[in-house]
Amino acid sequence: MKKIKFEKFTIKDIVFLAVITAVTLLASGPVAPLVMTVTKLGTQAFAMALPFSIFTSVGLRKVKKAGSLTIIGLFSGLFLLLMAPVMFFNQFVATLLSEGLALMLFKTYKDKITVLFSSGLFSFFTIPTTVAVNILLKDSSLSQQIGNPITFVLLVLGTTVLGFLGATIGNKIADELQKAGKL
Amino acid sequence: MHRTEKNLHPILSLVFSLFLFVSGLLFVKEKWFLIYILTFLIILLIFRFGGTILKIMPLILIFGSLMALITTINGSRWDVLYSFYRVFALVPAITLSMSIKPVHLVRSFNQIKVPHWISLGFLIVIRFVRIFLDEIRQIRQAIILRGIRFTETPVLWGRAFFIPLIIRVLSISENLAVSLETRAFSTEVEGTAYETITFEKRNYIFAIMSSTCLAVYIYLFIGGEL
């Protein structure tokens, strides 16, 4: 049975993951006002799904080591910590969950499907984290947060679809770069 | 050795920013919420954060009003007020976190033995957000010059945007990694602090004042009476 292999990160890996995090945060900049103003559960994840999954999947194709997505989550969380402390937990826990699940299923980043699942599911996993934060801090019950169930289901489905779409686009970009010998 | 002068110790600011963020949101529905906010605003003013508060206040008022306006769609009068308060509750936390200088935070991280690669990565993220903002601007200008429009040819626009951007990411990170390696940076070697961030007397005073006030409000929140 294949086991998850944990390899050491070199300074090159860390630098690349940090730079890709910076670009990911910048790419999600245009949707930030929407994320900040809309309170409906799932809207934030829906808006962030595409930019996050595109860039994180490129990052994972370059640094194919277990823990890469969690490191991206840690860096973006630390950056967001200075704006909204709770966002740190949101980012970090979501990356931990999606990477954990992807690696449990497929064991290694050498297969493209692991990258697809890991970065594609990241935004989806921010939803339960947001629910937990809202229950703990805003005293808002699950039903209050969900509101109209149909809209909520559509948002969750949309988040998942956009996440996987972004991850597919990211993989395509990585394929082209690999063909050109740049990755 | 570095004296934090006007700013508080970065770790202290970060910890209290987190506490005030959480407590602010928890206390929103309490009768004494405005007194709570006022208490911490006074403490921050005593510690010379007036300028920062003034800077963020317009944004908080606009954002808070917007949140309240959205809540009017299906919320009661109290819900509208609480959604404004939720944004207003962030003022003390944001004031503290905005006062943190990233370089000082990284140096403090090093002092408390946070792994070197974490603080290095964090610093790169902060530094490169600005650099890539210019890169993205340049790429978008090139796209406009070539007459590519997202509305007409979205796939071509995507290629023209993402490929050059990722190439820049690769070349910049490659150069930066080489540059760091030649300066003996490594994930295995422990780094030394370029300057020591000291924990001065005003930090102790701030910690004692804020903790005492916070303890009183937590006592009130859990049902205690004064």
Q: Do both B95 and B7 map to the same domain?
A: yes
With 0-12 / 13-18 / 19 or more C-beta atoms within 10 angstroms meaning exposed / middle / buried, residue B7 is buried
How far away is chain A from the Cα of B216, in angstroms, using its nearest Cα?
19
Instruction: Verify that B1 and B96 share a domain, yes or no.
Output: yes
Residue partners of A180: CB distance under 8 A and separation at least 6: none
| Rounded alpha-carbon distances, angstroms, from residue A177 to A23, A30, B31, B101 | 17, 26, 59, 37
- Residue B197 phi/psi, 5-degree rounding, is -90, 120
* Predicted pLDDT at B185: 79
Residues B203 and B166 reside in one and the same domain = no
Q: How far is A124 from chain B (nearest CA, A)?
A: 23
Residues of B in contact with A78 (CB under 8 A): 118, 122, 125
Q: How many domains does chain B have?
A: 2
- Domain match, B211 and B145 both: no
Whether B19 and B45 share a structural domain? yes
Of B90, B124, B136, which has the smallest distance from its Cβ to A15's Cβ? B124
Give how far B58 is from chain A: nearest CA, Å. Answer: 16
| Residue B110 placed within a domain | no
| Cα–Cα separations (whole angstroms), residue B224 to A143, B217, B220 | 30, 9, 5
- Residue from B60, B125, B178, B187 whose CB has the most chain A CBs within 10 Å, to mutate: B125
Q: Could you say which residues of chain A have pLDDT below 50?
A: none
Whole-angstrom distance, CA of residue B107 vs CA of residue A46: 36
Let me know if residue B107 belongs to a domain. no
Residue B14 lies in a domain: yes
Q: Answer yes or no: do B19 and B92 share one domain.
A: yes
Of B94, B128, B181, the CB nearest to A22: B128
**In this predicted complex, what is the ipTM?**
0.87
Give the per-residue pLDDT at B120.
86
Q: Which residue of chain A has the CA closest to B184?
A: A11
Same structural domain for residues B88 and B23?
Answer: yes
Residues of chain A contacting B86 with CB distance shorter than 8 Å = 138
The half-sphere exposure of B196 on its side-chain side, counting CA atoms within 13 A, is 4
Range of the domain at B129: 116-186
Smallest CA–CA separation between B93 and chain A, in Å? Answer: 8
Partner-chain contact A173 B162, CB within 8 Å: yes
Distance from the Cα of B195 to chain A's closest Cα (Å) equals 22
pTM of the shown model: 0.81
Q: In terms of domains, do B66 and B176 share one?
A: no
Same domain, B69 and B164: no
Residue B113: its pLDDT value, please?
Answer: 82
CA distances from B87 to B24, B80, B81, B94, B218 (A): 9, 11, 10, 10, 20
In a domain, B106, yes or no: no
Contact A26 B136 (CB under 8 A): yes
In the predicted model, residues of chain B with pLDDT beneath 50 are 2, 4
Is residue B37 in a domain? yes
CB pairs < 8 Å spanning A and B: 135
Is B1 in the same domain as B95? yes
* Residue B109 located in a structural domain: no
Same domain for B29 and B78, yes or no, is: yes
- Tell me, yes or no, whether B34 lies in a domain: yes
Tokens of B188: 């295995």
Instruction: Give dist(CA B126, CA B120) in Å, integer.
Output: 10
Do B89 and B180 fall within a single domain? no
End-to-end CA distance of chain A: 30
pLDDT at position A1 is 61
CB of A87 within 8 Å of a chain B CB? The answer is: no
